[in-house]
C-alpha cells in the first residue's frame, strides 16, 4: 500500500496540499503581497486579479485627502439659487449628484440628485413651484483623515455615493465619491462623460502638494507646473517615474525628479496609478530617495 501511495501522482499532490496547509501563513502585508505575486508568477492568479488584491490592501492605508476632489474643483449649488440659474451647469457637467451649500461656502445643506430635476424638464410649469429644500438629500460628512476602507464600508451601509470632506476646522475641503474609492482598487473607471483635463488629472492639495494621476501626459504636467520634462521616451508622468525607479515601485516609495518630490500613492501589479507631487521649494532640504534604485 505504501508503494502505491508513493508512486501515485495524485497522492503526492494530496500530500503537497497537506504540507501547504501546515506551512506558515504570511506574517504581514508585505509577505501576503509577495505570496500573491508568486501566485501570479506561477499562473495561479492573473495580473488583473493581483492588481485588485493589491488595490484592496492599499486602500486600508490611504486617507480621503489623497483622492478627494478639492474644494476649488467642486461643482456645487447654492441653496438660494433658482433652477434657471443652476440647470445649465448641471446639464453641462453631467454629474449625477451635487453638493448644496448655504450662503457660507462652509455650510453644507445637503446633496441634490440630478434625476430629481427631470420633472422640471418634462413639465416646465413646475419650475415656478420648485423649492430646492424639498429635494435635498442628507449629506454624508467625513474628515480628510478618514481611511478609505472605512469610508467604503460607510458608503455601503448608508447607501450613499458621495461624501463632503471637511478639514480640521470644520470647513469644506472637498468631496469624495464611491467611484473615487473603487478606482483605487480596480483601476480607472471611465464613462462617456469623462474628460482628460488638467483639473481632472492634477488636484491641488494644501501645503504646496498635488495628487497627480500617473496617466497625466507629460505635456500637461509641464504646462501645469511650468517645467520641461522630455516626452521623447515616455508620454506620461508615470512612465518617467517608472524609468527613474528602474522597476515598478510600491506604495509610499518616493523619488526626486529634477527637484520634484514624487511619492507613489497607489500602484498595482501592472502599473502606477496615483502620485503625490511636491514641486521644488518645499523639498530643497530633502534629497533622499527612499526605496528607489540609484544605480
- 8-state DSSP, 114: G
What is the rounded distance in angstroms from the CA atom of residue 95 to the CA atom of residue 74?
11
Q: Domain check: are 169 and 271 in the same one?
A: no
Q: Domain check: are 179 and 268 in the same one?
A: no
pLDDT at 283: 54
Contact between 249 and 292 under an 8 Å Cβ cutoff? The reply is yes
Task: Write out residues in the chain with pLDDT < 50, as ranges.
Answer: 1-7, 9-12, 14-15, 18-22, 191-199, 285-295
Within a 10 A sphere around the Cβ of 191, how many other Cβ atoms? 7
- Of 151, 168, 186, the residue at which a domain comes to its end is 186
- Of 186, 221, 251, the residue at which a domain comes to its end is 186
pLDDT at 19: 46
What is the rounded distance in angstroms from the CA atom of residue 84 to the CA atom of residue 69?
26
Q: Domain check: are 232 and 166 in the same one?
A: no
Q: Domain check: are 83 and 148 in the same one?
A: yes
Within a 10 A sphere around the Cβ of 92, how many other Cβ atoms? 9
Which candidate, 151, 91, 82, 157, places its Cα nearest to that of 118? 91
Q: Domain check: are 159 and 77 in the same one?
A: yes
Look at residue 5 and tell me if it is in a domain.
Answer: no
Which candidate, 49, 57, 271, places its Cα nearest to that of 147? 57
Q: Assign residue 126 the CATH number of its domain.
A: 3.10.580.10
pLDDT at 180: 87
Q: Domain check: are 213 and 266 in the same one?
A: yes
Instruction: Kindly report whether the global pTM for this prediction surpasses the value 0.75.
Output: no
Query: Cell 434625476 sits at which residue?
Result: 115
Q: Domain check: are 210 and 274 in the same one?
A: yes
Q: Which residues contact 217 (CB under 8 A, 6 or more apart)?
A: 196, 231, 235, 236, 237
Which candidate, 50, 68, 69, 48, places its Cα nearest to that of 58? 50
Q: Domain check: are 200 and 229 in the same one?
A: yes
Look at residue 134 and tell me if it is in a domain.
Answer: yes
Residue 65, classified by CB atoms within 10 Å of its CB into exposed (0-12), middle (13-18) or buried (19+), is buried
Provide the number of structural domains found in the chain: 2
Q: Domain check: are 67 and 120 in the same one?
A: yes
Look at residue 50 and tell me if it is in a domain.
Answer: no
Q: Domain check: are 102 and 205 in the same one?
A: no
Query: Cell 518645499 sits at which residue?
Result: 282
Within a 10 A sphere around the Cβ of 195, how many other Cβ atoms? 10
Domain of 132? Answer: 59-186
In a 13 Å sphere around the CA of 42, the CA atoms on its Cβ side amount to 6
Q: Assign residue 251 the CATH number of its domain.
A: 3.30.465.10
Which candidate, 95, 94, 254, 273, places its Cα nearest to that of 182? 273
Element (DSSP H or E) covering residue 86: helix 83-93
Cα–Cα distance list, 287 to 119, 194, 254, 281, 290 (Å): 58, 37, 10, 12, 9
Q: Domain check: are 148 and 209 in the same one?
A: no
Q: At what angle do helices 148-158 and 178-186 cross, to 10 degrees?
A: 130
Look at residue 38 and tell me if it is in a domain.
Answer: no
pLDDT at 141: 92
Look at residue 173 and tell me if it is in a domain.
Answer: yes
Q: Looking at beta carbons, which pairs linking 120-129 to residues 24 or more positions away fall under 8 Å?
A: 120/83, 120/87, 127/83, 127/84
Q: Domain check: are 143 and 77 in the same one?
A: yes
Torsion of CA 109, 111, 112, 113, to 10 degrees: -170
Amino acid at each position: 500500500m505504501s508503494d502505491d501511495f508513493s508512486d501515485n501522482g495524485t497522492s503526492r499532490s494530496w500530500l503537497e496540499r497537506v504540507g501547504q496547509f501546515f506551512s506558515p501563513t504570511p506574517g504581514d502585508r508585505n509577505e501576503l503581497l509577495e505570496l500573491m505575486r508568486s501566485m501570479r508568477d506561477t499562473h495561479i492568479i492573473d495580473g488583473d486579479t493581483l492588481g485588485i488584491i493589491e488595490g484592496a490592501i492599499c486602500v486600508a492605508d490611504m486617507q480621503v485627502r489623497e483622492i478627494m476632489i478639492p474644494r476649488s474643483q467642486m461643482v456645487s449649488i447654492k441653496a438660494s439659487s433658482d433652477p434657471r440659474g443652476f440647470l445649465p451647469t448641471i446639464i453641462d457637467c453631467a454629474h449625477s449628484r451635487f453638493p448644496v451649500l448655504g450662503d457660507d461656502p462652509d455650510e453644507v445643506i445637503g446633496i441634490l440628485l440630478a434625476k430629481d430635476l427631470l420633472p422640471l424638464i418634462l413639465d416646465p410649469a413646475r419650475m415656478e413651484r420648485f423649492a430646492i429644500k424639498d429635494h435635498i438629500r442628507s449629506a454624508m460628512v467625513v474628515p480628510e483623515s478618514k481611511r478609505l476602507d472605512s469610508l467604503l464600508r460607510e458608503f455601503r451601509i448608508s447607501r450613499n455615493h458621495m461624501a463632503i470632506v471637511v478639514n480640521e476646522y470644520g470647513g469644506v475641503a472637498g468631496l469624495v465619491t464611491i467611484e473615487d474609492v473603487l478606482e483605487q482598487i480596480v483601476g480607472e473607471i471611465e464613462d462617456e462623460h469623462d474628460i482628460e483635463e488638467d483639473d481632472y488629472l492634477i488636484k491641488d492639495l494644501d501645503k504646496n502638494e498635488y495628487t497627480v494621476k500617473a496617466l497625466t501626459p507629460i505635456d500637461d504636467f509641464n504646462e501645469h507646473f511650468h517645467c520641461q520634462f522630455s516626452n521623447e521616451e515616455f508620454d506620461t508622468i508615470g512612465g518617467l517615474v517608472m524609468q527613474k525607479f528602474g522597476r515598478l515601485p510600491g506604495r509610499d516609495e518616493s523619488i526626486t525628479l529634477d527637484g520634484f518630490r514624487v511619492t507613489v500613492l497607489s500602484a498595482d501589479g501592472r502599473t502606477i496609478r496615483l502620485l503625490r507631487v511636491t514641486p521644488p521649494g518645499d523639498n530643497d532640504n530633502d534629497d533622499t530617495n527612499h526605496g528607489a534604485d540609484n544605480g
